[in-house]
Structures are given as C-alpha cells and as structure tokens.
Structure 1
Amino acid sequence: MALKIGDKIPDILGINQDGKELKASDFTGRKIALYFYPKDNTPGCTAEACSLRDGYENLRSAGYEVIGVSKDSVASHRKFADKESLPFDLVADTDTSLNQIFGVWALKKMAGREYMGTVRTTFLIDENGVIQNIITKVDTKDHAKQILNL
C-alpha cells in the first residue's frame, strides 16, 4: 500500500552516504523534500540533484531539508555526492524497501523492455512527518523551483 497525502512517513529512512542511519525524527520541526530517483550519475538524476544543490539555500530558507533516495549503494552515493558537491543526504535503499513503502517501485518500460525500477517522485513532508504534497511530474532541470512554487 503506497503512502499518500495525509499519511505519516516511517521513522527509519535508511543509511546515508556517510554510513549514518537517518530517521524522520531527526528532522522534527523541519519540512522534508524526500525525492526518489532511479540511479546515481545518470543524466536526468544528475540534473535533478544539481538543481536541488543549486537551490539548496532557498529550500533551506523555506524550511526544507532535502533527502534523496535510490537503490544505489552507500559507496555509490558517496562518490555521487562528492562528484556533484551535494550538500544533502542520499539514502541507500539497496533492498528497495523504502521505495516500496512510498509506492515508487514499479514496473517500467524502456526500449521495449520491462523491468522494475524507481519512478521519479518527490514527497513534500511537513514538520510532523506528514506528507503534504506529492510531485509525480518532476522537472529535473528546475526541481528546486518546482518545490518552492508549490
């Protein structure tokens, strides 16, 4: 059952690029822009991460913490964060459990091939851990502005 607007998110989010466990309760009192993306170091995912990096101070000023999630490993996230100078956490959801809880792990099609993968989605969560908005049509090149304009 996928989480929806009005649902409280789970406390345990996963392990970040530094090997530290992240919990929603670590961010109590701050809003969270929790974005799910398919893969580190791919064109769309890099554009999205860099948009969030470039708009990070504006997002923080609006009260948001930014957290990215993909099924890549901690080591992959570390390299990606270093390469792109990302100032926010990336959660390694290697078993896709968080993807599944949020309902973004789904059957995808590309070049006539079907496979399971992450559907690019951003969840905007309030200071109490409750989902307030869900962005399913992500503008990868301008995602920070897209979040701020909601």
Structure 2
Amino acid sequence: MAIQVGDFLPDFQGIDQNNQLFDSSSLKGKQAVIYFYPKDHTPGCTVQACSFRDAYQDFQDLGAVVVGVSSDSVASHQNFQEKHQLPFTLIADLDKKIRKLFGVPTAFFGLLPGRVTYVFDKNGKAIFVFDSMRAKHHIDKALEVLQNELK
C-alpha cells in the first residue's frame, strides 16, 4: 500500500553515504522531504539531486530535512555526493525494502524504479506526495508545500 497524504512516516533504517546507520526516528519533530530516485549519476537523477542541492538552504530555512533514497550502493552514493557536493543524506536501499515500505511504484512499464517525493510535517504526517519522472519539478513542488505550511 503506497503512502498517501495523511499517512504517517513509517519507521525505517538504512545505511547512508557515510556508511552510518540512518534511522527515520531522527526525523521526529522535523519537517522532512524524502525523495526516491532511480539511479545515481544518470542525467535526470543528477538534475534532481543538484536542484535539491541548489535549493538546500531554502529547505533548511523552512526547517526541513532532505533525504534521498535509491537502490545504489554506499560507495556509489559517496561518489555521487562528493562529485556534486550534495549537502543532504543519501540512503542505500540495496534490497529495496524502504522503497517497498513507501509503496513507490516503478515507471516505464516496470523497467525503472519510480521517482516520488514525500513531504512530512513535524508530526510525521504526509502532507504531499508527488509522483513524476520529471526530476526538476519535485523541488519546486516540495518547496511550495513547505512554504504554504508556514502560512
């Protein structure tokens, strides 16, 4: 069952780009943007990650934590983060358990892992879910939702 607006952030753990355990409980009391993307170093995913990087201060100013998740390895995430100077956490979901937990669909007739962004409020409730292969739109939509949340 896919996470919908109104659902709560599920408990999950994963290994980040620094080979450290990331636990979703660390997001309690914080707004969070969790985005799932197909693969490190691909054109669309690089555009998306760099767009999150370029808007990272805006997310921080709104009190939001940004977390990227794909099935790439820790080493791949490390390289991707260093190459593009990404200031946020990337989680290696090698077994796709986190992707399955969130119910992220596949795209292009099941050939590609889907690209979905979730925005959670400080109570851990999903306030926005955006499912689109158009990488750059995810950042603008997430920022808009967080800005409206503060109004």
- Give the structure-2-normalised TM-score: 0.88
The CA deviation at 1:10 is: 2.0
Contact kept, 8 Å, 1:139 with 1:146, in 2: the verdict is no
CA distance in 1, matches of 2:84, 2:65: 18
The CA deviation at 1:65 is: 0.4
What RMSD over aligned residues (CA atoms) do the two structures have, in Å?
Answer: 1.6
2:85 maps to 85
Which blocks of at least 5 consecutive residues in structure 2 are unaligned? 146-151
CA distance in 1, matches of 2:124, 2:55: 22
How does 1:109-120 map onto structure 2 within 5 Å?
Answer: 109=109, 115=111, 117-120=112-115
Please give the per-residue CA displacement for 1:28-79, whole angstroms capped at 9, x wherever unaligned: 2211100000000000000000000000000111111000000000110000
CA distance in 1, matches of 2:131, 2:36: 10
How does 1:18-57 map onto structure 2 within 5 Å?
Answer: 18-57=18-57
2:16 maps to 16
CA distance in 2, matches of 1:138, 1:52: 15
Contact kept, 8 Å, 2:114 with 2:133, in 1: the verdict is no
- Give the structure-1-normalised TM-score: 0.88
Q: Kindly indicate which of the two structures has a greater share of residues assigned to strand.
A: 1
Where does structure 1 differ by over 3 angstroms across 4 or more consecutive aligned residues? none
